[in-house]
């Protein structure tokens, strides 16, 4: 399970970097805050 979690985390980081190149910083920040909200609900 650790390997799967690590892979998904790396994939998410890669997608965020790829998206941050295409989008403005404001959109990336809002996307990050949404992820934090979702993580907060899970925890």
Instruction: For 16-43, write each residue's pLDDT tens digit.
Output: 887 766 665 666 667 778 778 778 876 5
Domain ranges of the chain: 2-42
Integer angstrom CA distances of residue 29 from 16, 19, 25, 39: 10, 11, 6, 15
In the prediction, which pLDDT does 3 show?
86
In the prediction, which pLDDT does 29 show?
63
The pair of structure tokens assigned to 32 is 């990050």
In the prediction, which pLDDT does 39 show?
81
Integer angstrom CA distances of residue 11 from 6, 14, 36: 9, 5, 17
Spatial neighbors of 16 by CB under 8 A, at least 6 apart, are 28, 31, 32
């Amino acid at each position: 399970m650790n390997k799967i979690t690590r892979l998904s985390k790396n994939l998410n980081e890669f997608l965020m970097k790829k998206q941050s190149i295409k989008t403005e910083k404001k959109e990336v920040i809002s996307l990050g805050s949404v992820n934090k909200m979702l993580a907060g609900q899970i925890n």
